[in-house]
Every structure is written in structure tokens, then in C-alpha cells.
Structure 1
């Protein structure tokens, strides 16, 4: 594995290369305090790296198939992960132990994300469903179904009132978290969407695509 950390003042300077992964890397995220890096690749292991030393410091083992996403909880004390093994798992960072295993999808799970407050969870899968979970009880609050394609990514708006997700690479959908009803269908990109985000006020969405466009939606 090679992860490059670039200097802010001189973006051409590579500060550090982290080596150790033997598989393609799908996800990397800084911890809330900025001291560690969470990495998942196309094996069953989630790894935690120390930024300063460049050393791998923890491994989280338990998934039986490729890990598709991993994210720190907002307080930085735990990790949530999804996998092709059809499970969501919650890990305690200090002990490296699995705290919860959450089944609920009938096919591969492509993405799982915390809400900004950490009270909710959203998962997206190849079963063409999106599920919103109460993190404390691990019970499903809403199941969004009826999609004609696999759901590849889902994330909460920063105000937690809306849910944005990606279907079949070129279609974005916006849903109301409380009611579970679709608010808006965002279609316009002609090639795969490579990234999405919401503005802090939750009123504007930005998407970028292989069609060489960046689109703002409101």
C-alpha cells in the first residue's frame, strides 16, 4: 500500500508514504483528532495507521469477505464497517474487538455511514435497498426500496435531515430522513459520478463526474 500525504504549502511535496497493503485500497479516512488513518482494502481486514510514525498500529479482523467501507464514529472511539459478507460491524478502537454485528441486507453491502451526530446509520447494498438505523438499538428506522439498480453509496446531509444516495453510478436521489419519502431525483450526469457532498446548510449538493462536469443542485 502507498498512501501519500501532501503538504498544504507545497502540494508537490510528498511528506510520507505508508506501505504494507497487498490489495487495492478502497477507503482512507483521518481520525477526528487527525493522528491516525483508517484504511480498508479488498481483503477482510481494517487497518489503523499512525500518521507520525507511518506504522500500522491496529487491525480489525472479523469480516469474511472484502470490506467495502469503514468510518470513524464522530467521537473517534469506534469504527463502523460494511462488507460483501452482508454484515455491518461496529468495532471498539481501543480493544480492537467487535462490539456489534448488524445483519440486514440480503446481498453485498456497498457503503455504511454515520450521521454527523452519530445517532443514526445508513447502509446501501446490492439488494437495491437503503436502510436507516438507530445506532443505539441497531433497529431499522426506514427501509428505502424499489430501486431498479444496486445502491452504491449513501450519506446524510450535514444537518441530518436529508439522505443523499447514488444509484447505478449516474443517478442521485434525495430523501427526507424523518418521513422516508423521496424529496428529489437528481439526474443529468451522462457518465459515472465520482463524488458527492452537501453544503453545511444542507441546501446545496455538489456532484462531480467522469462526464467532465461539476454540478450544483439546489
Structure 2
């Protein structure tokens, strides 16, 4: 095995329960060693405890990505920081009916080098507007204070736009809109991760419903204007 190059295998198995219920189970191996979904599910129990991949992988594809990253990077913080990007770059493109292929992480690690920064942490935030429910936090190495910039987090769901210029323009638009609606509450601080995530949940939940209200009001006005 070359540095940053790994052999990933995914297979489908059909099992029948004692009640004669048939189910397809997907299993994954990294460099010949089988990995188990319970490992990733233990860190992010919001996602289902099972594997899936491809465009239709859904919730379980996050578990697959996180568990593979845990096997590859051997560190929870790095695995959690990178698994959402790993899902988009690799897991979504795995062939649906099973596969065995090498992946080279060299370009991937260069592209997402910002997520390798020390003191950067990914945490689960149910009210986050992105599908992964992810929020990035920074822990000050001197004071121990935990900081989250919710405006920056809000722009993350467009990080996969391939056109860099378009992505930057879109990020700027989203960032300004979020700051306008949230005012001075977009940057939150706390003494530990749980405290900051709880604050983020409250603010993001309010932002979501406020945004939804604006959309519904606009649709209502358009419908009855004529």
C-alpha cells in the first residue's frame, strides 16, 4: 500500500431472518479488514447503524464515510472533521452494486487542508441546515474557550460547488444574509463543546423557522396577489 492510498471493498449480502424476512446488508473492508458500522454510529448516533453508498446512499452513507475515515486516519478528531467531505468526494460515487477499488487521498487532503487545522472540531448539531447536521468549532489552545462562527457554518452546505468563483460569491451572499438576520449572535462562545452546541441549536432553530416563515409568506403573497 502506498502512502494515502487504500483499497476499499463494498459488498452486498442477502440475509433471511427466522421470520422469513429478506434483507440486503452492505459490508465494507479497508485494506482487507472489515469495518463495522457500530464504530461510526457510536460517534454520530443520528445516522443509521448500517452502511450504504452511491447517490442513493442516504443517511447510512454518512456512517460509511465516518467509519472508513476512522479506519484510515486513526484519530477521532480528524475522522469527524473529514468524513462529510469524504462522503461527497468518494462514498457518493462508489458503485451501487458492490465494488473493489483503490482511493488516493493525496489530492483530497490538499483540497480540505483547512479541516486538518489543530484545535478544529466537528460536532453534531441537529438544527444545522446542512444534511450532515455538522457544525465546526474552534477551541482556543490557551484559554480553552470554544468558539463557533455560525455564519461560516451556514455557508458550508455549498462547499461542493465545483466552480470556485461561483462558490465564493455564493458563500459571501449566504454569510451576509445570515449575519443580517441573526445580527450580533452569529459568533458564539462557551466553556465547553456541549454549551456552544446547545447555543448553536437554539440560534439555528430560530433562524430556520424565521427563514421558513419568510418563504411561506412570499409564496402566500404570490398566490393571492392576482
TM range (shorter): 0.3 to 0.5
Looking at secondary structure, tell me which structure has more strand per residue. Answer: 1
Q: TM-score, normalised by structure 1?
A: 0.34
Q: TM-score when scaled to structure 2?
A: 0.33
Query: Between Structure 1 and Structure 2, which shows a larger proportion of helix residues?
Result: 2
